[in-house]
Amino acid sequence: MKFTEPLQFFSTGNFPCSYIPGNIARNCVIDPQFDMDDGVYSTLLRSGFRRSGSQVYRPQCLPCTECVSTRIPVTDFKPSRSQKRTLRDNEDLIIKVNTSGFKPDYLSLYNQYLLDRHDSDQSEGVEEFFGSGWCNTHYIEFYNKEQLLGVAVVDVLVDEISAVYTLFDNDKAYKRSLGTFAVLWQVEYAKRLGKHYVYPGYWIKDCSKMNYKSRFQPLEGFFDGRWAPIKKG
């Protein structure tokens, strides 16, 4: 894709890494004044970038290169035996796709998710964190009857779906493996929309919070400017 205006990159300052204790992180970010759109973002996504709110970034933590952007080729994907069981365990869920933006109903679920997972309830700015003014963002809602159990926030782009965040009721979703189910559902959603990839986020081999992505096979990672297979590990 050719850009109609120059694309400028900036480096953030250093900050503590959220995933590898003791490491220092920094990001390469796209000029926030750039007129971003879905097409440009799709191109950047294929080069290892992601977004947080309206900011498009890529880790730039040299010499550390542990954060690897990943994607699932949906036409080649085959669920494992345990993933097939997860699909069966969630056949009773009602799934709704909200394309109208953030709902206040999500806030209490997000607050509880933060407390359960991160011992924090700093939910200020969550609406801006999930969405952006230029991206086609869908909120996938998972209901057990009328009770909202979880929400997967995804961007629907030119040839791909990119996962932004998934939150769920930990107590009620644990036995269902709702996080796994959300990824599996996104793969099927991508197929339905005629997309070829699901981008589930960064994979970090030695971080338990991030290495689960290798359970979804085949999985590709962006290494040294090219996409290559990541084996299950």
- Considering only the top CATH level, what class is 72-200? alpha beta
Residue 173 has pLDDT above 80, yes or no: no
Euclidean distance between CA atoms 63 and 72, whole angstroms? 27
> Domain residue spans in the chain?
72-200
Residue 1 has pLDDT above 60, yes or no: no
Strands 15-16 and 147-156: unpaired
Sheet containing strand 226-230, edge to edge, reads: 94-98, 137-144, 147-156, 160-168, 197-203, 68-73, 219-223, 226-230
Sign of CA pseudo-dihedral 231, 196, 90, 150? positive
Sign of CA pseudo-dihedral 143, 144, 147, 152? negative
Strands 68-73 and 24-25: unpaired
Burial annotation 25-45 (CB, 10 A radius, 16+ → b, else e): bbbbbbeeebebeeebbbbbb
Sign of CA pseudo-dihedral 202, 89, 197, 51? negative
Instruction: Decide: helix, strand or coil at residue 118.
Output: helix
Residue 2 has pLDDT above 70, yes or no: no
> For all residues of the chain together, what is the average pLDDT?
92
Confidence label for 211 from pLDDT (cuts 50, 70 and 90): very high
Rounding to the nearest 10 degrees, give the CA dihedral for residues 87, 89, 90, 91: 80
Span 101-141, pLDDT tens digits: 999 989 989 988 887 765 555 666 889 999 999 999 999 99
